[in-house]
Structure 1
Amino acid sequence: MSTKDKIIQTAALLLRKQGYHATGLNQIIRESGTPKGSLYYYFPNGKEELAIAAAEYMSQRVIDQIEASFAYSDDPYVAVDHFMTNIIRGFLEQESERGIPIVLLAAESKPEHTKLHAACKQEMIRWQELVKEKLMNSGYDEIKADERASLLHSMVIGGLSMTTALKQTTPLEHVKCYLRHLFMREE
């Protein structure tokens, strides 16, 4: 693994666990085991630039999970149910999966961190567009696909936020239970 990747992965883990304000560059350097000069070489604009790279890294992991779930089944309900099962399993089994979702990272940073907000927004749009595309490929019209993708995204982000705050998976399990209602076809 490259030095840059070590820095990004360590930052992503710490930002998820502690949030933007509680994560310092010195801690990232120490926990990544990389030289201080490397952090400033790869991220000369500082913490916000590194946080953007970490958000993109975290987002790509989510996108990989979404795509794997969509490859699991052509049925959007089965695919999203599979995705939710994996999120819950990850939260229970892997400490690195616990923590704040990207939307809270953006919300916690200062308003003048416009680049971080824009990067987080872009990543969330990418997730929603993947789901919308899956739904359209499964026969939903564009408007219904967009509505359901938006609602699903809101449910998952809310479930993750509550799961993180409560330190239990019940909110995510509730989201998973109500997925079938989201994917019921209107006649």
Structure 2
Amino acid sequence: MIETKGAQTSARLAEAMLDLVQRHGYSGTGLNTVLQHAGAPKGSLYFHFPQGKEELGEKAVELAARQFRSLVTDQALASASPIEVVRRVIDTLADLFTDSDFQLGCPVSVVTLEMGAQSERLREACANAFESWIAPVTDQLVAHGRPRPAARATATAVVSMVEGALILSRAQRSTEPLSCAAEALAVLLNDGAEASA
């Protein structure tokens, strides 16, 4: 399906917002900078996002959610076990951090921390993003024999630990927290597998 010029511009604006939020945070990202980064004409922002920065931020969070969910589901299809999925996802995130010289952060956690108490719209978008990551991990664990309630609790812990490790890795400019999270999650997932066997 061929995208219209308008759809392409809208997508470029959301991608630019996402990239800038990852690097500078939501508050540190101005709309003029987004337009410049996207190579979009000035009038296009309010044409595509009439509610301004908040609407554009919501679309950027939704885009980040889709990208990370795709990463998880792609790894789930390519891996034999939940432990392998988690290790591959963490390795991919570590590579992204290293390649960006630790400039990129998780845009969903950034927006949650900056705007979650100020904007119900953005808080809800972030909650939906996290849920979209918990759900496929839950499904993967259920497919490997875990009861759904236990699988969901474990999946929530997995996403929480990875998010925390991303924050520590960025602060320390090191992938060691991600490596530590991978090791701890391997123990958690292995213990859970033994318990459900």
TM-score range normalised by the length of the shorter chain? over 0.9
User: 1:94, CA displacement in angstroms?
Assistant: 4.0
Return structure 1 stretches of 4+ with deviation > 6 angstroms. none
The two structures have a TM-score, normalised by structure 1, of: 0.93
Q: Is the 8 A contact 1:17 1:100 kept in 2?
A: no
2:85 match: 79
The unaligned stretches of length 5 or more in structure 2 are none
- After superposition, give the CA deviation of every residue in 1:35-66 in whole Å (9 maximum; x if it has no partner): 11111101000101000000111111101110
Determine whether 1:181 maps to 2:165. no
The unaligned stretches of length 5 or more in structure 1 are none
Q: Equivalents in 2 of 1:50, 1:64: separation in Å? A: 21
Q: Equivalents in 2 of 1:35, 1:95: separation in Å? A: 30
Q: Equivalents in 2 of 1:110, 1:163: separation in Å? A: 22
2:141 match: 135
The two structures have a TM-score, normalised by structure 2, of: 0.89
Q: Equivalents in 2 of 1:94, 1:147: separation in Å? A: 32
Q: Equivalents in 1 of 2:69, 2:103: separation in Å? A: 14
* Counterpart residue type for residue 85 of structure 2: A
- Tell me the percent identity: 27
User: 1:104, CA displacement in angstroms?
Assistant: 2.6
2:46 match: 40
For residues 2-17 of structure 1, what are the structure 2 equivalents within 5 Å?
Answer: 2-17=8-23
Q: Is the 8 A contact 1:101 1:157 kept in 2?
A: no
Determine whether 1:116 maps to 2:122. yes
The one of 134, 145, 154 equivalent to 1:148 is 154
The root-mean-square deviation of aligned C-alpha atoms, in Å, is 1.7
Q: Equivalents in 2 of 1:96, 1:10: separation in Å? A: 18
User: 1:112, CA displacement in angstroms?
Assistant: 3.2
The one of 82, 99, 108 equivalent to 2:105 is 99
2:33 match: 27
User: 1:139, CA displacement in angstroms?
Assistant: 0.4
1:20 match: secondary structure: coil
User: 1:179, CA displacement in angstroms?
Assistant: 2.1
User: 1:100, CA displacement in angstroms?
Assistant: 3.6
1:159 match: 165
